[in-house]
Structure formats: structure tokens, C-alpha cells
Chains A and B, each alone.
Chain A
């Protein structure tokens, strides 16, 4: 059983890596791209969609109970510890 908070931590690490690469990518795109609307619009679309996805996921995660555990290797026990014990009872 893996605590769900570990998965949240892994997600945060992945998002941090994504943000780092996204900043570098946008910096290169703006610096070396020709100063015309396509450069600005493409960078804007990329940033807007990325921010929307991270925000939407973050807002959903605020409602999740991260104190539960995940059973990854046993399909029958995939779920909370409580639900497994209820099933056994």
C-alpha cells in the first residue's frame, strides 16, 4: 500500500520539472523567434493551456482526501484500506 500523498508529491515534482522546461522553452521561443504575432500567439496558447491544466488539476486535488492508501499490485484491494476491510467483513 502506498500513501496517496506520495503520488501527490510525485505529481508536484513532475509539474515543477514541466514548469522549468516550459520557462526555458518560452524564453528560447521569444528570444530567437521573429517579432511577429505568430510568435506571441503560439507562446500565449502554450502558456494558457498549460496554466489552465495545472490550475484545474490543482483545484480538483484540493477536494481529494490524500490520507488514503493505494494498493497498486492487488487489483482486488485497489482502493482505500477501509473499503478493503469492509469487503472482507
Chain B
């Protein structure tokens, strides 16, 4: 499980409520890609060795095939790992005080956004399509007061449950924040 000490700018007393990534089913194209990248060389070279031995014994043609296929394999392997990393490094963390969105796009772009729960105005959960409905995953949009930008949790599991939980947490945080504000102003909560 995710450790609080890994969170940037930890707020005292906060606890992690949800630690979210995209639904694992979104990794299916990557898994399929890995399967292809592994199986194509095995079957390809198997075919050549069994049915085309004159090619495998050719002192020029076969090294060229090995050369090309190794380059293609290595770059396909790298691209697939990038796709996995894109899934793995995109996380959304809901704590008792705030929401953190950490998104990695490519190698050099990383966006870390933070939102205090008391600032949440509305939360929209979206489940569109057959696969999303059957596997219960979808999008969650969080709108804050006075801001155009929205927090979007992409293809997370159980968006309805998470949205309900966020609304409850934001209500609690709003009450606590109000109490703190009144105390700071010198009044009684």
C-alpha cells in the first residue's frame, strides 16, 4: 500500500482513503502487445528453421534478419514499457484532507496537482459504454469553486462509490475548516 511519507507536502493528521489507478483492464492492449512481441519472434524463427533452412544457412540474409528483428524487438519492448509506465505512474490519492493527482505523460512531463477537500463544489461520476458498465469503471470529474479547471480521474474502478466517498469527506473537511476559520477569527465554533 502507498505510504503517506511518499506524498508531497504532507498535511498533519491526514489519512489515505483511496489510492487509485486506472482500471487494470486498460492494460489489456499493453498485455496483448507484450504477447505479440514475445510470440512473433518465437514463431517466426521457428518457421524459418523448420521450413526455410536455406534462409537460416545464408551467411548474409540471416544476419540481416537477426539485425532487423533485434532492433524492432528492442524498440517495441521499450514502447510497451513506456505504455505500462504511463499506466503505473498515473495515480490519484484521496486523503481525509485533500486530493492529489499525479500524472506522468512521456518521460519528461509530470503534473502533480493538489486540491483541498473543502474547496470541492461538485463531483461527477461517468460510466459510459458496455465494458465500463460491466466492469464498473469510468471517469470522475471534480469541480472546484471559482476555478475553470477540473480534476479528472480517468477510468478508475468504482467511480460512483469514490464520488460518494469524496462528497462525504469534503463535507467533513468543510465543517472542520469552518470551525478552524471561526477559531482563527476569535469566535466560538
Chain A residues within CB distance 8 Å of chain B? 4, 7-8, 11, 14-15, 18, 21-22, 24-25, 28-29, 32-35, 38-39, 42, 46, 49-50, 53-54, 57, 60-61, 64-65, 68-70, 78-80
Contacts and interface: CB of A to CB of B under 8 A. Distances in A.
A11 B67 contact: yes
Contacts of B85: 25, 28-29
B89 interface: yes
A53 B2 contact: no
> Interface of chain B, helix or strand or loop or mixed?
helix
A72 to B, nearest CB: 9
A40 to B, nearest CB: 12
B2 A25 contact: no
A34 B2 contact: yes
Interface residues of B, number: 29
B64 A70 contact: yes
Contacts, number: 88
A57 B82 CA distance: 23
A11 B71 contact: yes
A88 to B, nearest CB: 17
Interface stretch (B54-62, B118-126, B140-148): B54-62
B73 interface: yes
Contacts of B178: none
B70 A53 contact: yes
A50 B74 contact: yes
B67 A79 contact: no
B36 interface: no
A16 B12 CA distance: 47
